[in-house]
Structure 1
Amino acid sequence: MQTPFIFLIVGLIVACNARQDFNLTILHTFGVISSFEQFDSSGDECSPEENQNGECFGGVARRGTAINGVRNEGDDINVCLLDSGNPFTGGLPTWFDHYKGRATSYFMNQLGYDAMTLGNQEFLLGPAFLGIFLDEATFDVLSANFNSTTAPALQRRIGKSAVKMFGDERVGVIGYGSQAFNGMGNIANVLDDPIEAIQTEVDALTSMGVNKIIVLGQSSGSGVEETEVAEIARTISGVDIIVIGGLDIYQYDDDCTSCSPPVDVPENFNLEPYPIVITPNDDPNGKVLIVHGYHTAKYLGRLDVTFDEEGKVEDFNGGPILLDKDVEQDPPLLEEIMEWAEPISNPNDPVIVGRADVFLEGGGTPRNNPIIPCRQQECNLGNLLADAMIWKCLESLTEEEALNASIIAFMNGGGIRDNINEGDIYYESDIKAVLPFSNTFDSVELEGRYVREMLEQAVSAGVGSFQDGFFK
């Protein structure tokens, strides 16, 4: 009479042990663009007065406090820190120009990132520069659709996916970049079709028994439905969460009491729920959660997810956390930031290269307002740069050659990264901030029809603007 009773108890114990939910907290950033120091509401350098008035945002030290605060919420919390790319360019005043990414890898290591994917800006200085960053990063740099054929120096140095351990639980992370980025840097056509590449990695992970999978990527566009992000969510089997960057959206959930309502979000940004939930085609009861990081790490994204024993999303909540005066800057990190900033902080810049009688509007990195004049329309700083190119070209010509030449200069709007205020123009704080990439320009002879074809191609591809000058 006792044996069935014993077997019944054992059966109940097995059943209870099998039912194990898993909680994961995902912290995410995007487009930090060398924002190591705190900045003001316009994305510019935070002045001592603004700092005293509590009007500063972001910065590595403040981000470190927020990240460590989440990690210290309890012994059983599982935190995965991810970045959706574009951590390099920009900075106050010229971090990128001075450190070329070394500061980025160092402080991402310090903050304990688990993985990042590659955006278009990672290729701006070519494979050698990116290779140095990869050598120094202690976290996974992932892009499943990266094709190293045109960049053999990076072969086997960029992973496709990684498995992260949280206790006994395994979580797969797959990186990707949008094919829209091909040709945007010094490495052309390195990104293959992301759909096929991601599905291949999902299949590889699931065959290993990994049933919780995050896709970490960067796209370009005004919203999820206009990009490959929605297609990934609907058509790729096995994806649970997509952490993305590069879109003109701000996500917020009114029901999230610990989250921050939008502050200084551009008017053209689409307000979306956090997260966006999409039903995959092969599972009408399934959920794919999509979260987007806000640029410059002005906010820290936080998504809390509960998975059931089969690795399916069971519950979720979260939203963006505003990194403002209420988040104290971590003292040790702040001290390090100040040390790294010393070689490039030069308030008494001695090299004056000119004087501006008017405000020269160029644009900048899209910290607070991605509608940047030089990327959308004609701008006076763009015209000045194009005219300067013509002036330099004329210097190399004889008088006769100049009289018989028709010279056109083109400057891409995205290469103009800052404004110049009225007054003296300094080399370090002004010129390097406007032109941080150390680009050169070429002089070529070509027929007029090729100029027309170039302009038509640019318009058809949706290029924001060219800045041009003309001499006859």
Structure 2
Amino acid sequence: MTYPLYLAHINDTHSHFDASLLHFHIQLDGEHYQIDAHCGGYARLASAIKQQRKQAQQQGCPSLLLHAGDSFQGSLYFSQYKGKANARLLELMAPDAMTIGNHEFDLGNAPISQFIDQVSFPVLAGNMDLSMEDQRKTLPLSNHNNLYPYQAEQQRASYLLKDLAEGVKLAIIGITHDQMHNIGCPDPDCQFIDAISCTQATVEHLHQQDIKHIIVLSHLGYQGDVALAKAVPGISVIVGGHSHTLSGEFRHLGLPESAMGQLWQQGCLILHAGKHAESIGLSRLEFTADGKVVKFEGGVQFLLGKQWHARQNDSLVSGKIKARIAEYLAQSEGLRYQAEDQQIQEIISQDYRPAIDAMRQQVICQVARPLAHTRLPTKLLPQGSEISPLVCQGFYQAAAATRPTDFALHNAGGVRVSLKAGPLTKADICGRLLPFEIAIVSYQLEGKYLAPLIEGAINNATNNGVQGTGDGSFPYFYKLRYHYEPDAKQGQRVTQIELHSDAGWQPLDPQRHYRGVSSAYTLAGKEGYHALLNSYEHQDLGMSMSDSFVLFAQQQASLG
């Protein structure tokens, strides 16, 4: 006897409520064509989910909709609404469960706490330990009835139980990234247990309860899921996210890079559904009595609108050729024409998009000349980025409005584009220049830690004596300058640190305690900034990086 289940899953939707313009590449009758098509968006996701639920109901089968994390960030909708629109729209889709991704913590714990308040569906993070959480917080996480965190006393995850068949239970365990403090910005009192050991303890507990049908809803990334499946026997399915991987074969659409074939690892089926609400996993599974998946039908689908264009050598095609292409697309695996759900579409159009359109029209200031952004200094730009110091100045202005501040710091990777001359809109700032909605934080730091802070960041950015994580860690400052000697002995490369005050440039006093301001991401000690872990007296300034730059730019006659 087998037990059927209809499964819909999404991940890394990143506030892409509207459809995304994608470019597929096909070979047809020996000719190459580029297909430009708007795919996905929340209205098409909702429509596809409703159809699958109806199909499952007609067949008397259970169905699930699972979200594998990273609903937050990624678009102007998040810049504007900070998760409130995400909560409302996902609530209408009614997931059976969602796990928490790293980007849910980019603004600390408060926005994800508000999000969980605003939804009724279960939010799973079975390896997130809240046992030491400060209950005096305005928005603690641990008091939510629909949150399933780590159970410290039992040393295992909370889990969700669903009926798979009469007398047969299916368990859903939510596991988020256990290196969250290295890749996200959770509050210090929010800890994360090793994903493998937590999952193993929970699966063993479920087996003791004679529950053998187990889905792990994961935000570990594809390779993390493979490692989890290898290490923990007894998982039926892993539904994952974080790495933006596509499960399935998409070479016929010109999408080979992020696609992985359907993978069974140690008898466990691993499924990922891409990114940005462009696609959705829609499948029908059959389980044996001992929890093994023995039948899998369906897979990841890109949800197309009816309007698309075909090009050959940059020229639009039409007529019989376009009709032939339309026939090919209709028969292609991984593509599905999908109407939009009218309720979702109307809410986006009427309640949320007007503010986004206004951001595109709202001119903040003029850029007097082109301003270049480079992560590292170059021959043409020996001082490096022309924009990052301005961003630091915006940080400084926001912090100095509340208390005396000595310097501002930002990592080069937090700035994303150069700026051309002309009007600079709010959409340009929030959607392109500083698209990551990450909080800025004021803090105290003893002077002796500034040299290792600067050296650690530059060593990481330039792979100088360390295996770095990329040049995005290169530091930029406002009211601080220094000399870096790359050939000096490690630990002695930064000298001549000076800070600017009313008295002019003054040498660093290693014993003095200075007040700095930077993003919560940098303050977490990532990518060479480990010396910032010695900071204290943190004050969240109640605004994001882009918020501070908007306020700064509004007060300038022009930039550049």
- TM-score between both structures, scaled by the size of structure 2: 0.63
Are 2:455 and 1:452 equivalent residues in the alignment?
yes
Contact 1:143–1:161 (CA<8 Å) still a contact in 2? no
Are 2:368 and 1:351 equivalent residues in the alignment?
no
**Matched residue, 2:294:** 314
**Matched residue, 1:170:** 169
1:336 is aligned, of 323, 342, 347, to 347
Q: Which stretch has the larger CA shift, 294-303 or 241-250?
A: 241-250
2:169 and 2:380 map into 1 onto residues whose CA distance is 51
Which aligned pairs between 1:196-275 and structure 2 lie closer than 5 A?
196-220=197-221, 223-224=222-223, 227=224, 229-247=225-243, 249-253=245-249, 263=253, 265=255, 269-274=257-262
For the residue of structure 2 that corresponds to 1:440, the secondary structure is: strand
Q: CA deviation at 1:359?
A: 8.5
CA 1:132–1:263 in structure 2 vs 1: closer, same or farther (change >3 Å)? farther
CA 1:360–1:450 in structure 2 vs 1: closer, same or farther (change >3 Å)? closer
**Matched residue, 1:77:** 61
1:378 and 1:62 map into 2 onto residues whose CA distance is 49
CA displacement 1:390-435 (0-9 Å, x = unmatched):
5569999xxxxxxxxx98943252x446775664211x21112233
Q: Which stretch has the larger CA shift, 116-125 or 203-212?
A: 203-212
Contact 2:246–2:259 (CA<8 Å) still a contact in 1? yes
Letter in 1 for 2:71: P
Between structures 1 and 2, the one with greater strand share:
2
1:177 and 1:56 map into 2 onto residues whose CA distance is 31
2:127 is aligned, of 139, 142, 145, to 145
2:9 and 2:260 map into 1 onto residues whose CA distance is 17
Q: CA deviation at 1:68?
A: 1.4
Are 2:77 and 1:120 equivalent residues in the alignment?
no
For the residue of structure 1 that corresponds to 2:40, the secondary structure is: coil
For the residue of structure 2 that corresponds to 1:28, the secondary structure is: strand
Contact 2:367–2:419 (CA<8 Å) still a contact in 1? no
Contact 2:367–2:420 (CA<8 Å) still a contact in 1? no
CA 1:178–1:374 in structure 2 vs 1: closer, same or farther (change >3 Å)? farther
Which aligned pairs between 1:2-13 and structure 2 lie closer than 5 A?
none
Contact 1:383–1:468 (CA<8 Å) still a contact in 2? no
Q: Which stretch has the larger CA shift, 198-207 or 447-456?
A: 447-456
2:131 and 2:268 map into 1 onto residues whose CA distance is 32
Q: CA deviation at 1:310?
A: 2.9
Letter in 1 for 2:264: V
Contact 1:252–1:261 (CA<8 Å) still a contact in 2? no
Q: CA deviation at 1:150?
A: 5.5
Contact 2:458–2:475 (CA<8 Å) still a contact in 1? no
Contact 2:20–2:38 (CA<8 Å) still a contact in 1? yes
1:140 and 1:394 map into 2 onto residues whose CA distance is 40
1:272 and 1:435 map into 2 onto residues whose CA distance is 31
Contact 1:300–1:322 (CA<8 Å) still a contact in 2? yes
Contact 1:163–1:172 (CA<8 Å) still a contact in 2? yes
**Matched residue, 1:463:** 469
Q: Which stretch has the larger CA shift, 433-442 or 314-323?
A: 433-442
Letter in 1 for 2:350: E
2:85 is aligned, of 85, 98, 103, to 103
- TM-score between both structures, scaled by the size of structure 1: 0.74
CA 1:163–1:348 in structure 2 vs 1: closer, same or farther (change >3 Å)? closer
1:135 and 1:407 map into 2 onto residues whose CA distance is 37
Q: CA deviation at 1:170?
A: 2.1
Letter in 2 for 1:215: V
2:164 and 2:43 map into 1 onto residues whose CA distance is 26
CA 1:161–1:468 in structure 2 vs 1: closer, same or farther (change >3 Å)? same
Q: CA deviation at 1:469?
A: 3.7
Q: Which stretch has the larger CA shift, 103-112 or 184-193?
A: 184-193
Unaligned runs of at least 5 residues, structure 2:
24-34, 135-139, 149-157, 306-336, 399-405, 483-560
Q: CA deviation at 1:89?
A: 0.7
2:301 and 2:395 map into 1 onto residues whose CA distance is 50
CA 1:389–1:420 in structure 2 vs 1: closer, same or farther (change >3 Å)? closer
Q: CA deviation at 1:25?
A: 1.9
1:182 and 1:109 map into 2 onto residues whose CA distance is 28
Unaligned runs of at least 5 residues, structure 1:
1-19, 43-52, 254-259, 280-286, 362-372, 397-405
Q: Which stretch has the larger CA shift, 453-462 or 122-131?
A: 453-462
CA 1:395–1:65 in structure 2 vs 1: closer, same or farther (change >3 Å)? closer
**Matched residue, 2:179:** 180
Contact 2:244–2:275 (CA<8 Å) still a contact in 1? no
CA 1:424–1:110 in structure 2 vs 1: closer, same or farther (change >3 Å)? same
2:371 and 2:247 map into 1 onto residues whose CA distance is 34
Letter in 2 for 1:41: L
Contact 2:3–2:165 (CA<8 Å) still a contact in 1? no
Letter in 1 for 2:410: F
1:425 and 1:82 map into 2 onto residues whose CA distance is 39
Letter in 2 for 1:329: E
Q: CA deviation at 1:356?
A: 6.9
Identity of aligned residues (%): 22
Q: CA deviation at 1:263?
A: 4.7
1:154 is aligned, of 119, 137, 141, to 141
Q: Which stretch has the larger CA shift, 203-212 or 234-243?
A: 203-212
**Matched residue, 1:90:** 74
CA 1:410–1:359 in structure 2 vs 1: closer, same or farther (change >3 Å)? closer
For the residue of structure 2 that corresponds to 1:33, the secondary structure is: coil
- Cα RMSD of the aligned pairs, angstroms, is 3.5
Letter in 2 for 1:466: S
1:101 and 1:263 map into 2 onto residues whose CA distance is 33
